[in-house]
Amino acid sequence: PQFKTGTFEQTVDHFNFIQSGTFKQRYLYTEKYWDGKGPIFFYSGNEGGITGFWENSGFVFEAAKNFSALVIFGEHRYYGESLPFGQDSFKIENIGYLSIEQALADFATLIPALKKQFKAEEKPVVSFGGSYGGMLSAYLRFKYPNVIQAALAASAPIYFIADLSIRDFFFPAVTRDFKNADPKCPDLVRAGFIELDNLKKEGLKGLDAISKAFKLCKPLKSADQINHLIGWIRNAFTIIAMCDYPYATDFLAPLPANPVNYACKLLATASDRLSGLADAAGLAYNGTSGTLKCFDPWTEFVECADPTGCGLGNANLAWDYQACTELPMPAGTNNVTDMFPVLPWTLDMRADYCQKHWQVKPRLEWPGISLWGRDISTASNIIFSNGNLDPWRPGGVLKSVSPSLVAVLVEGGAHHLDLRSSNPEDPPSVVAAREMELELIRKWIS
């Protein structure tokens, strides 16, 4: 549905009464389904402009129709247009106000103000979110149960964020997705990387062959550039695995239906292993009918504190900072438990990087304290949904903790498939998951 846009005069620092600065926080809303009596459905915005999440969270509107709800999507500070210091927001002296605690306080302040504005003070609020937004949705219910009555946390790896002992799950899970699509697929990927490595050793002639195979806009000039190219390729496989939806989408990339299977076919039918690797990687940046004549890994992929990718532009800077502070990202690749070349990302490497780029030192214990870690049993009214195709799934809540902390598993679902609009190609499991989610929400807010 069409959205209306509003802005709210938000506090820069909720935890410091001396600092009285404010900024304009953007929110989107629609009263299309609201009868003035129904609940409020609030989407806790994550790492990007809020309009992208509005366009890719159709289930929220389907649920709103069902409940005659008012829908509000709140934008996360330091993303989209909600920049506390405009373009200066990403300077070292200003970035420190970017934290999960501040973002949650933004949402917890915004909601009561909007309830008053819409004369809906007595109405229950349900938070929705996917991925990092799903984590925020759960955290809102943890920290502000007086504001949020129930939460849907889709594909929210909350256990992983607070437990550094499970850092090495992500790339093995990506590899498993490709293996499940075609048992030969990971070996074809490995063979492509071996060919890449062999050519790298041949000097300029080899680099030229790599540049041609990958249709690079600017030919490679040095073997030192290969690691970035590998990061770009690995990022492509990550996107394809996360967006392995049963129909064509344009969420993180313009991808065909079942893109993991599609990529495996490209790898299997290519004239040689390197071309296959190049075709599969190109899928994530150019889709099946893209207009790019050549690729530029240096603008299409930015290395950062998150080996699974930070996005581009301002969002890249904000996420990089968050990955340096409260969000410890997965370990890198090792070519033993995954199909990618050895590109490690240890906690020491992270600490060095973060000190150099942001002058910060990660506090490893803090997320487990502030964000509850694994001990969530005193919370209630939260649905944790995870798809078995989603590489983030091993970091999430996969078993119900209590009758009101419910795990919903989506067979054949990739990254928060259940939050997307219903589609004729949906597997039966996601249809059932959505029905269960609606049923639980109804029970909790009635």
Task: Catalogue the active-site residues.
Answer: 131, 390, 415
| d(C-alpha 324, C-alpha 122), whole Å | 39
Q: Which residues share a beta bridge with 71?
A: 30, 41
Among candidates 154, 142, 140, which has minimal Cα distance to 59? 154
And the tokens for 343? 């590109």
Bridge pairing between strands 70-74 and 125-130:
unpaired
Task: Give, in degrees to the nearest 5, the angle at Cα 39 between 61 and 138.
Answer: 75
- Rounded Cα distance between 435 and 72, Å, is 22
Please list, residue by residue across 63-74, b when 16 or more beta carbons sit within 10 angstroms of its beta carbon and e when fewer do: bbeebebbbbbb
* Exposure string for 353-381, b = 16+ CB within 10 A, e = fewer: bbeeebeeebeeeebbebbbeeebeebbb
3-state secondary structure of 383: strand
H runs (alpha helix) in 214-339: 226-242, 259-269, 273-286, 297-300, 313-325
- Is the separation of the CB atoms in 341 and 230 below 8 Å? yes
d(CA 418, CA 398): 15
Residue among 262, 311, 323, 265 at smallest CA distance from 287: 262
Among the listed residues 175, 159, 170, 172, the one whose alpha carbon sits nearest the alpha carbon of residue 330 = 170
The two tokens of residue 32 are 């299309």
Count, residues in the chain: 446
Residue 82's identity, in one-letter code, is S
Looking up tokens 């938000």, which residue turns up?
Answer: 10
